[in-house]
Structure 1
Amino acid sequence: MPSGRVHNLINIAAYSVLAAGALYATRQDLLVVTPAQALNFTLAYAAGTFLLSPDLDLAEGKVDSKRHWGVLGVLWVPYGMLFSHRGWSHSWVIGPLTRLLYVALIAALIVGLVRFIAPDLQMPTIPQPIAWKVVLPLLIGYYLSQWLHLIADGVRPDHGLRKSYRKVRGR
């Protein structure tokens, strides 16, 4: 299993190749990528690589992703206690989703606290409806960064399913 630094280098190298390929494909009119889509993909990919790594399930210890959060890294300690290392947090679909839901929970708690303390404060709103052309690059960038981490760890796509199936069968 690579170190956090090696995971980051793998993701940076993969992003460089992917960005060069996307740039070439758009210049050859093989692909259409708007600047907003490229930015959304890049931001989600960077967040998935540096802030929301699957190794946050080790958040009680020294994890690169936790350190990148600075003093807010302490918020990930409960996540590390909730998930065992290389368990569900290292599955291909549910693992990344758990981290997104955890961030959403933290954000909801902060918004609730701000609304309780300052009920008259105007909070920013999310425009509705959110278009797929905005959401899709975010999801692809985030999940791709997660999957590269899992590939480097040697985790197969059916990781979580195999464990559950063994438990059901009694192995």
Structure 2
Amino acid sequence: MPSGNVHNLINTAAYAALFAATALAQHAGYVHVTPVQGLAFTAGYAAGTFLLSPDLDLAEGRVNSKRYWGILGFLWVPYGMLFSHRGLSHTWLIGPLTRLAYLGVIVALVVGLVAFLVPDLRLPGLPSSLDWKGLLPLLAGYYLSQWMHLIADGVRPDHDLRHARKTARRTFKRLR
């Protein structure tokens, strides 16, 4: 299993190769990527590589992703306590969702606290409709960065199913 620095290097090299391939494909007229789509993909990929790594399930220790959060890194310690390393947090579909959901809970708590402490403050609201042209590349970048990490760790795409089956077997045995 690679170190955090090696994971970051692998993800950065993969991004550079993908960027070059996309630029060549766009120049040849095979694809069309708008600047907003490119920026959204890059932001999602960078966030998934540096801030929301699957290794946040080790957040009780010294993890690169936790350190990149600076003084807010302590917010990820409960996440590390909730998820065992290479367990549910290292699955292909659910794992990345766990980090997004955890981040959403943190944001909701902060917004709720600010609204409670400063009731007259007008906080920006969510947009009335989602712009899928920007949201899909953001999610694609995020998920691809997560998958690059899992590939480097040797986690197979069917890990989600195998993990679910193993958990179901354990639960069934306890119920008997």
Quickly name the TM-score band, shorter chain normalised: over 0.9
2:114 matches 1:89: no
Q: How does 1:52-131 map to 2 (within 5 A)?
A: 52-131=52-131
1:73–1:30 distance in 2 versus 1, CA, 3 Å: same
The match for 1:18 is 18
Q: Distance in 1 between matches of 2:67 and 2:60?
A: 11
Are the counterparts in 1 of residues 90 and 150 from structure 2 also a CA contact under 8 Å? yes
User: What residue identity is the alignment partner of 1:135?
Assistant: L
Residues matched between the structures, number: 171
Q: Distance in 1 between matches of 2:16 and 2:164?
A: 36
Q: Distance in 2 between matches of 1:21 and 1:143?
A: 19
- The C-alpha deviation readout for 1:35-67, integer Å capped at 9, x for no partner, is 000000000100000000000000000000000
CA shift for structure 1 position 17: 0.4
Q: Distance in 2 between matches of 1:125 and 1:27?
A: 38
Q: Secondary structure of 1:84's match?
A: coil
1:167–1:114 distance in 2 versus 1, CA, 3 Å: closer
User: What residue identity is the alignment partner of 2:14?
Assistant: A
Q: Distance in 1 between matches of 2:15 and 2:42?
A: 9
Aligned-residue Cα RMSD (Å) equals 1.2
Q: Distance in 1 between matches of 2:52 and 2:14?
A: 17
1:23–1:62 distance in 2 versus 1, CA, 3 Å: same
- TM-score, with length taken from structure 1: 0.97
The match for 2:152 is 152
User: What residue identity is the alignment partner of 1:38?
Assistant: G
Unaligned runs of 5+ in 1: none
Which shows bigger deviation, 23-32 or 82-91?
23-32
Q: Distance in 2 between matches of 1:13 and 1:93?
A: 23
CA shift for structure 1 position 168: 3.4
Are the counterparts in 2 of residues 45 and 144 from structure 1 also a CA contact under 8 Å? yes
Q: Distance in 1 between matches of 2:126 and 2:37?
A: 17
Q: Secondary structure of 2:125's match?
A: coil
Q: Percent identity?
A: 65
Are the counterparts in 1 of residues 26 and 32 from structure 2 also a CA contact under 8 Å? yes
- The C-alpha deviation readout for 1:132-152, integer Å capped at 9, x for no partner, is 111100110000000000000
Q: Distance in 2 between matches of 1:25 and 1:99?
A: 32
User: What residue identity is the alignment partner of 2:113?
Assistant: L
The match for 2:39 is 39
Q: Secondary structure of 1:61's match?
A: coil
CA shift for structure 1 position 167: 4.1
CA shift for structure 1 position 163: 2.4
